[in-house]
């Protein structure tokens, strides 16, 4: 068994160029596939605060209480995304962004996430065009306040962290895919070479011959003439 493993390893080392070639093919194939079939997706986000007002009609009698203000802000945060997830808001954002996107397209790009226990929420914008993603995010920031003013007096939102221009796609993982492709093809080549070597019945060395025919006495062996270049001497 040890001899078989040794022969398999020797065969893999002898044909290492095939493994390297397959790794290159796998890397190239994964690169082309990722570039052609997986469009890059970019995302950006902003942090928004739901502001409170001491003069707000919703404030409780203990005016100025920080806890009351935070409770009011949290209630607003819970209500704001519901107002924003409407076709009217999507249409306003689409027109403000000047990207040519429809209200439905803008709606598919937006995602709202509340920060639990805080008067804050995140707005995430995702799309295939980084410039359009940034434009839509800026349009959201510009339209949130005037849109909410239509429904609630003295409603206010403030962008704490503005959206940034996305530069790196979040889904392509080009380097990772190429590495996986190279490893898969290299391992496939190693397995194929190992299988060929395992099922190869040819005699490759003196040790294998002696073990296979242990019950037959060895009378002698033919010298190795491979290093003699002169045909006459051979």
Cα–Cα distance for residue pair 79/68, rounded to 1 Å: 17
pLDDT tens-digit profile of 93-148?
A: 999 999 999 999 999 999 988 877 667 889 999 999 999 999 999 999 999 888 87
Q: Do residues 154 and 201 both lie within one domain?
A: no
DSSP 95: H
Give a yes or no: residue 77 inside a domain. yes
Domain coverage including residue 180: 2-36+173-209
Which residues in the chain land under pLDDT 70? 1-3, 51-79, 117-118, 151-155, 201, 203-205, 207-208, 211-212, 224-234
Paired tokens of 180: 């996986």
Q: Do residues 79 and 127 both lie within one domain?
A: yes
Cα–Cα distance for residue pair 79/76, rounded to 1 Å: 5
Bridge partners (DSSP) listed for residue 112: 123
* Structural domain count of the chain: 2
Contacts of 24 by beta carbon, 8 Å cutoff, 6+ apart: 182
Distances from the Cα of 171 to the Cα of 37, 147, 177, 188, angstroms: 12, 32, 11, 26
Kindly report the backbone phi and psi dihedral angles of residue 105, in degrees, each rounded to the nearest multiple of 5, phi listed first: -65, -40
Q: Do residues 49 and 151 both lie within one domain?
A: yes
Instruction: Return the SS3 of 151.
Output: coil
- Residue with the two structure tokens 């997830």: 85
């Amino acid at each position: 068994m040890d001899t078989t493993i040794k022969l398999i390893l020797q065969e893999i080392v002898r044909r290492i160029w095939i493994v390297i070639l397959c790794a290159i093919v796998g890397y190239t194939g994964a690169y082309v596939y990722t570039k052609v079939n997986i469009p890059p997706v970019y995302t950006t986000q902003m942090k928004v605060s739901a502001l409170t007002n001491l003069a707000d009609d919703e404030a409780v009698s203990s005016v100025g209480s920080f806890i009351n203000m935070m409770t009011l802000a949290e209630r607003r945060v819970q209500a704001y995304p519901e107002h924003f997830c409407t076709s009217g808001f999507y249409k306003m954002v689409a027109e403000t962004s000047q990207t040519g996107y429809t209200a439905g397209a803008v709606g598919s790009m937006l995602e709202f996430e509340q920060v639990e226990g805080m008067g804050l929420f995140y707005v995430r914008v995702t799309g295939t065009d980084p410039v359009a993603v940034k434009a839509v995010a800026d349009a959201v920031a510009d339209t949130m306040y005037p849109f909410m003013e239509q429904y609630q007096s003295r409603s206010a939102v403030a962008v704490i962290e503005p959206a940034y221009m996305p530069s790196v796609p979040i889904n392509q993982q080009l380097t990772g895919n190429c590495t996986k492709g190279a490893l898969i093809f290299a391992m496939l080549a190693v397995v194929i070479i190992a299988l060929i070597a395992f099922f190869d019945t040819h005699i490759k060395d003196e040790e294998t011959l002696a073990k296979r025919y242990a019950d037959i006495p060895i009378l002698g062996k033919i010298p190795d003439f491979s290093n003699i270049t002169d045909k006459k001497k051979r």
